[in-house]
Structure formats: C-alpha cells, structure tokens
Structure 1
Amino acid sequence: MRLDVRLIVSGSTGRTVLLDPAGSLPRFATEGDQDEAAIVAVDRLLREEWRFPVPVLETHPQWHGVPEGEPIPVLIMTERAPDSWTPPVGLVFGPLPGNVDGLPASLRPRAREWLAELRSDALPPPLRPRWARPGWSARATAWMRTAAAAAGRPLVDEPRPFYLRGISALLRAPTATGDLFLKAVFPPFHAEPILTQLLAGRFPSHLPTVLAIEPDEGWLVVGDIAATLISELPKGDRANALAIGARALVEIQSVLAGRPGDLAILSAAGAPHRPLGGLAAAFATSVGSDALATPDDPWDVARLECATAAVEQAIPRVEALGLPETVVHGDFHSGNAALVDGRAVIIDWSDAALGDPAVDLVTWISWSRGDIGEIEPAVDAWIRAWSVVIDPSALRDRLDDILVVGAAYQVVSYDGIVRALEPATRYTMAGGAGHFLKEIEAVIERSG
C-alpha cells in the first residue's frame, strides 16, 4: 500500500528540525505495509536514498478512515541527526515550526506532541516504550550481535528494524545459516523471554529456536522459522493446518499442567495468574465507564448488561469441566503459528499467562471468520486432544460457554494492553475488544 510519509528529524544541536523549502516537515511517498507499522519501507528509503544513519524512534501510521486505494498518512520520528550527515538537496535544518496545519489532520496531534518535547527538552512520558527512546537501537543491536556470536551464529550484516509498534519491536539480521530476530516487548509482556526459552527447551518441535534472552530488557533472539504462517496458506490447506496447530498447543498445555515447577518458573518470571474466578469482575471493569479498549461506538447499557450476564453464567460451567491450570498462550491464532515439516510451530507468546486453557480456543478459530470448513476441524482436533483428561461430549456440550469465556478473556486482555500504551499509540490496538464483544453477542443470538 502507498504511504504518505512526513518526518520529524531533529538537528544535532539546538531546537531545530529538518525542513523543506516552504518551512514544512519533509515529505516523501513510498510503498509499505501497515502491519509492519511502515518501518521496513521507511528504514529502507532513509538508508538507501537519504544515506541517513540514524534509527527511527516511532512510526505513526493513521489508516483509520482512509479510503481504499488512497495513501496512508504516516508520521516518522527519528533520533537526532549527526553533524556528519548531509540532508538531501532542498532540505535544511531550521527552527521548529510554529504550527503543523499543513499536515493531514490525523497526524497533527502526534506531531504537536513530539515538537513540544523538542521545544522544551522534556523527558519522554513514562509509558513510551524503550525502543522509542534515543540510544535503544544501538544498545539492542550491540547485544544482538554479541548474543548471536556467542550462540555460534554470528551476524553477517547489521540488524535492521522489521516491526515497530507500542507493544513490541523486532530487529532482523542475517547469518550464514538463516535470519535471526531480536524481539523486544513492553513491560506487560516481560515474561515472554523466559517463558519462550523454557517452552522451546521443553518442546523444541513446537517453538522457534531461542538463542539468547535478556529478561531485564525484555529481549529474546530467535531463529527464523522460515515457513508460511497458517493464516497465509492456501485455503484448501488451512483446515488440516488448524487441526495440527490445535493439537500442538494442547500437547504443550497438558504437559505443562503436570509440571508445577515449570509453572512456578513462569510465575516468577512475571507471567500473570488469570484464573476464571476473577474473570467476571475483570470483564465488568473492562466494559465499564472507565474502559479504554471498548469500541469507538460504545455499546448501550442493555447490550453490555446482556454480554456481562452471559459471561457470568458461562464461567462456572467452564470451570466445572475441570481443565487443568496451565500456560495460556493468550493470542493463539493462525497468524501466530506455521507448519514446519508437518508440525506446528507456535510463536509470539507475549500475552501468555497461567490459567484455564479453554480461553485459547476462541482466538484459534476467530481468524477463520465463520468458515465452518476451517472451524469444525480445528474444534474437533482441540476436543479430541483434551479428551485424554476431559469427557469430549462434555466439552462439546459446553462449546458456546467456552467461546464466551474466551472472548471475555480477550476483552480484558485488550483493555489491559491499551492502558499500558502511551495514549497517542492506543489506536493501534483499537477494535480488538469490540471484535470479541461481538463474538459474545453472536453466541447469545445463536443460543436464543
């Protein structure tokens, strides 16, 4: 998709930024991907065309409300330009602009915030992620290079940004035997490095290879699984892949349920304990008057009361099934798993917790968007995998309750994630809670 990019590049000294001949922030067009927060395309252009050696701190793509086919406005903030860098012809460093009225309306609020920080030399706000602060990229790159060499896979080129959002950032770097990724996560996800390393050690066929972790920074280095995600497989291949993925997660969860020592390690690493017993109250808060992750068009009181009642009724019925407490993936969908030599490899354990594994089913089938040909094999495989410890007919009888509880769990997750983001970036996680509220409503309508 086309990107309409505006840049805030501060000068090395004083309160100056890069400006075009009209005194406005520089602008360029490129092709990019909003799912990568535009970082890959922007980084490539800055390096290859501008010879700009400085990391990008934040990409701010504003895709909401943009008509299909129209370019997406994107605001980019970088670290300070070094004295040695020569700007492209026609661009010079000048005083901070007094207004940003020439920018697309969707970019103006964030541009004003960044320029105000430069004008006042203010410290970044507390919720700003580490990778959006000067110096992080150099520190992370140096650690990745050292960690890769220590693991016997030295980098053959510099790490480059691959993903950049408020919840996480990824660097990608080549080695002689395939690419490596450094993943950095924001504070609510800081258990991911230890958790992923432990699971990869216990289940090497179902997780990517972990080369190194730095828990205090929220960093882990993993090998590229070099496989197509299940969500991107041809339609005819997805049903079987979804069944394989469901069995793989249940295998991990059922084994971990019998390893209390491993669960204690995950708890000590910061994996939250989220039993169903606390879900009803958490859900009520997440859809209440102070909720942050509910839809842009808030539901009326009657609809929310109906959803809340359905959640309250479903929880004890799912608890009564007796599924063992274990690790919950928290974001188990077909975009977070791939088939490698016929086995499912599950990635992105950022939102993992300790709780009831029933909550992972709703996300696993949600990306199938009502396609029964995909959903039924996935559900059947999940039920059969748990039938070793739970009566499969009981699971099937309570399937709607399981979906309601899982959807409520996701609403709570989204509310917590949004609260932990810097306010200006919360829009990037908008819509998730609303989607799962509608999942609850769909079950209510289906069950009469």
Structure 2
Amino acid sequence: MISASSNDANEFRVLVVDPFARAVYMREDRNEYRLIRVSVPTGSRPAQQLQKELREVWGLMVLVLDVMIPKDGDRPCAIVELLRRDAAEGIASIEPDQIPDDELSTQERTWLLSVLSGDPIHPIARIGWADDAVRWVETTTKSKVLSKTDIEQFNAGNGFSLLCFRMNDGATHWLKATGAPNTQERSVSLLLTRLCRDYVPEVVAERLEWNAWLMHSSGQSLSKLPQEAPEVKRTLQVAVKSLAGLQIRTVGAELDLLNAGAVDHRTHVLRNDAEALFTYIDEAMGYQTSTKVSPVRPKRLGELKNIFEDACDYLSELDIPDTILHGDLNVDNILFAGTHCVFIDWSEAYVGNPLVTYEHLLLLNQIEDPSLKASCNRHLRTTYLKAMSSICDFRVLEDALPFAPIIAAASTILGRKDWLQTRERSDPRKFPLVRAIARHLDRAAQAPSLLRALLV
C-alpha cells in the first residue's frame, strides 16, 4: 500500500516510532524493509496530510514529531510517534540499525537516533510530548481531551506545531508552538490578546520551554469567499469593520508591539529602506527569463523609487497614528465569529500605517464584474474610514488613500526584512513573486489619484 505519487506532490519517507519499544515500523516487502511513503500535495500542510493518510491508508494513529525537508525539497522525511499500538498488515517493527542504508542519509540516521534517545534538537520533538501536551491542556482548561488519537495536527517540524484539541465539555482549544524564525509570534499573540481580545484568539496559557501558547477556538474559517457580489460585499464589510476595531485598540502601543517582536514598517522606516528595496527588485528583474511580460527596467525602477519616497514623505506629513499590521492577510487567517472577525496567525506582525493592511484586505475582493467590484470597494472604503475616524479625521484618511497601494506593495516585498542580510536574498524561488508585486507597484504608481496627490 503505497500512496500514489504526483508531479504536484512531494513523497515523504515516514519513520513511524513505537514509543514503548523505541523501534521503527516499516513496510515488509519480499523480505526487505522499506519506509512507508506518503505523497503530500504541493501547497498543503505536510503534518496534516501525513497524519490523515497514515490513519486512513495504514490504520496508524500518529502525531508528527519532526520533519526534515532539504533545501531542494527532494526526499523529505518525517518522524511520527505511534499513539496506539495497532498491528497493520504488511508492517514490521525493527531496530533502527536494521533500516537499509539507502533509505536514510547519515544526517537523517543521526536525527532519528537523537529522537529515540530522548535528546532531540527541539523539545516538542521528544517522544511522549503528546502526553505532556494533553496533560497541560487538561490542567489549564480543567476539562478532559476526548481522546489523544482524536487530536488534529496542522503543522509540525523544526520546533513548530499546531494542534487542535476537542474537549469533553464541547469546547475546542488550539495549541501552537513556533521555532525560528517565528519565535516572536508567542509574545506578539499574548500582547494582542490583552489589547484586542475580541479580534484575535484569546490566549489562555503559555508554555515557555516549548515556546507555545494555548488558545480558545474563536470562529469559523472560510475556505474561500462567497461567489456572488452581495455576499462578498457583506462578508468583507464585516472584515473591514473588524480590522478597524483591531487597529484602533493598538494605537499608542507601537513600542510595546515592536518590543514584542513586530517588525517596524512605519512610513519613515520604509522610506529609509527604499534603496535596498529597489536594488533587490532590480536583481529580481535581472533573473527574468520569460518574454510574456516585460521586466521593469532600471530607469523605470529609479522613477518608482522617487515616487515611493515622495509618497512616504507625503504620508508621514499626514500624521496618521501607527497601528498593528497583518503581513499575511488571506482568507485562511480571518475567522468569522457572527458579527465580527477574528484575525489569526501573527507570525508576520508589523507596525505601520493602518491603510497598508486595509489595502491588502481589498485584494480579497475578487468580484469579476469591474463595476460591481468598484462599487464594493467604495462601500468598503466608506465603512473602514468611518470606523477609523475615531482616531483620525475622515478627510485626512481620504487624503492618504492614494498613497496606500504603493506603500502596501513595498511592505509586502520587504516583509520582515531579515532576508536583506541572509542568503535568502539570492533565493531564485522568491524572485517571481517579487517581480509580480513590483509590477503591481508600478501600476499603483501610475494611478491618476496618486499622481494628482503628488502633483506630478
């Protein structure tokens, strides 16, 4: 029983560890031992897919402890802990030294032995961690987990984990742990739950040695937005009102957010990053091989840099209060809780002009009819500006709107800005997205409203 492979999938080799015997479960094929293979679709969550397929195809109830994915994505490997010792047809329990040489590299073998010996790199990759997590959740919530084998896992590996616990009192709780480079998400999440309780998941406890925190379930996720224009308008109206409510509550907390680990995207800081930003865009354009779309030429990039710097200067003069920004605002990170939204996943938390995230939220409006889309955006703009007028004059916010698209595009490319000093700067896999956003920035710079505002 081998999962079907696909060109749009990665085949994971899976080390199923028996926590009691410290042995490894492998396929027995004509007197040969082979690791179980699971095909994980590209773009999906590996831990979720591994847990699901091992249960449905092999009848194995597991929790993923750690994953090792090479830089080139070739031959990824996962270590999973068996939660229930059920015999599966075609599966044999063997000692680690019986694993064939061609199934594991030397590095992977060392990695496996460190987990089996109880000395993994990350504490949440330790065998038995699932039992510790269950005890912590039950002690904190004063309720019982329905079953350890019912725990749903959505992320794992390199110090990360995301688990969903369903309790016998009907409640649902989420445990999230993060490793580098997202270690700051715990402190940011704790601060936001104090500042903006209605608009972010409520953190009920934290576990420092795991860099983990426990949250109440806060709403329903939409796999995608509705298709019809009226429903899109109603849904996004709730989102923009909630975004304003969230941002208003963070006014005055900029330094606290920065100290917690949010990245500084205040307008004057982005302006200081202009030279590095447009140099990087020029590098990305230099790697373009496709002739379908013309690259943005160096001369035009120089013009865009000047426009961007002028836009930053004008926006700074308007003196709009800085707030929290969500650097990864997509449908999956917005939960709907009746009359308001809850914003999750704060690994990309920034501080800057609030219109940046508002502009990113508008990108979720995918209404095909241009007139209906424009009408929806006008409605969302009025809704958002009215809500934000409690912290800034409505007319000032209106004056700032023409600058928002170009600033938002730059914010997206800069992100955490850590790539500027690391080898990620030259990672060619990032260049196509950078080029696409740069073209969006170019179009934004040609908007008549921006040119009028800049008096170009």
Q: TM-score range by the shorter chain?
A: 0.7 to 0.9
Residue 397 of structure 2 aligns to a residue whose secondary structure is helix
Superposed CA RMSD in Å reads 4.6
Distance 1:332 1:54 in 2: 29
Give matches, 1:103-122, under 5 Å.
115-118=105-108
1:279 to 254, 264, 270: 270
| 1:171 corresponds to | 163
Give matches, 1:92-131, under 5 Å.
93-97=98-102, 115-118=105-108
Residue 350 of structure 1 aligns to a residue whose secondary structure is coil
| 2:315 corresponds to | 318
Deviations 1:401-432 (A, max 9, x none): 11111111111106537988999x996x7765
Distance 1:319 1:276 in 2: 6
Residue 353 of structure 1 aligns to a residue whose secondary structure is strand
Deviations 1:364-399 (A, max 9, x none): 112224743543333222222223343434433432
Q: Is the 8 A contact 2:191 2:260 kept in 1?
A: no
Gaps of 5+ in 2: 115-119, 290-294, 368-372, 452-456
- Give the direction of change, closer, same or farther, for the CA distance of 1:351–1:248 in structure 2 (3 Å limit): same
- The residue type equivalent to 1:320 in the other structure is E
Q: Is the 8 A contact 1:271 1:353 kept in 2?
A: yes
- Give the direction of change, closer, same or farther, for the CA distance of 1:290–1:355 in structure 2 (3 Å limit): closer
1:210 to 195, 198, 203: 203
Q: Give the CA deviation at 1:26.
A: 4.8
Q: Give the CA deviation at 1:330.
A: 2.6
| 2:345 corresponds to | 348
- 1:187 and 2:180 equivalent? yes
| 2:406 corresponds to | 404
Distance 2:364 2:158 in 1: 23
Distance 1:291 1:362 in 2: 24
Q: Give the CA deviation at 1:164.
A: 4.3
- Give the direction of change, closer, same or farther, for the CA distance of 1:294–1:416 in structure 2 (3 Å limit): farther
Residue 180 of structure 1 aligns to a residue whose secondary structure is strand
Distance 2:190 2:347 in 1: 12
More displaced stretch, 378-387 vs 299-308: 299-308
Residue 280 of structure 1 aligns to a residue whose secondary structure is helix
Distance 1:230 1:343 in 2: 17
TM-score relative to the length of structure 2: 0.72
More displaced stretch, 198-207 vs 307-316: 198-207
Give matches, 1:54-73, under 5 Å.
55=64, 57-58=66-67
| 1:40 corresponds to | 48
Residue 309 of structure 2 aligns to a residue whose secondary structure is helix
Residue 133 of structure 2 aligns to a residue whose secondary structure is helix
Q: Is the 8 A contact 2:159 2:179 kept in 1?
A: yes
Distance 2:415 2:349 in 1: 10
Q: Give the CA deviation at 1:146.
A: 0.9
Distance 2:53 2:267 in 1: 48
Q: Give the CA deviation at 1:132.
A: 7.5
Q: Is the 8 A contact 1:331 1:360 kept in 2?
A: no
Deviations 1:78-101 (A, max 9, x none): 25899x997852878542228xxx
1:227 to 220, 223, 247: 220
Identity %: 15
- 1:246 and 2:240 equivalent? yes
Q: Give the CA deviation at 1:287.
A: 4.9
Distance 2:334 2:220 in 1: 9
Residue 232 of structure 1 aligns to a residue whose secondary structure is coil
Q: Give the CA deviation at 1:177.
A: 1.9
Distance 2:380 2:335 in 1: 14
- The residue type equivalent to 1:97 in the other structure is D
Q: Is the 8 A contact 2:188 2:261 kept in 1?
A: no
Distance 2:434 2:192 in 1: 28
Residue 218 of structure 2 aligns to a residue whose secondary structure is coil
Residue 288 of structure 2 aligns to a residue whose secondary structure is coil
- Give the direction of change, closer, same or farther, for the CA distance of 1:348–1:29 in structure 2 (3 Å limit): closer
Q: Give the CA deviation at 1:74.
A: 8.0
Q: Is the 8 A contact 1:338 1:346 kept in 2?
A: yes
Residue 317 of structure 1 aligns to a residue whose secondary structure is helix
Distance 1:292 1:25 in 2: 44
Q: Is the 8 A contact 1:248 1:344 kept in 2?
A: yes
| 2:384 corresponds to | 382
- 1:413 and 2:415 equivalent? yes
Pairs aligned (count): 413
Q: Give the CA deviation at 1:443.
A: 0.8
- 1:297 and 2:305 equivalent? no
- Give the direction of change, closer, same or farther, for the CA distance of 1:25–1:276 in structure 2 (3 Å limit): farther
Distance 1:169 1:418 in 2: 27
Distance 1:141 1:426 in 2: 41
- The residue type equivalent to 2:400 in the other structure is R
Gaps of 5+ in 1: 65-72, 99-113, 125-129
- The residue type equivalent to 1:279 in the other structure is L
TM-score relative to the length of structure 1: 0.73
Distance 2:250 2:130 in 1: 32
Q: Give the CA deviation at 1:324.
A: 0.8
- Give the direction of change, closer, same or farther, for the CA distance of 1:168–1:52 in structure 2 (3 Å limit): closer
Distance 1:376 1:123 in 2: 59
| 1:68 corresponds to | none
Deviations 1:6-45 (A, max 9, x none): 415388999x995775979656566x66554233232122
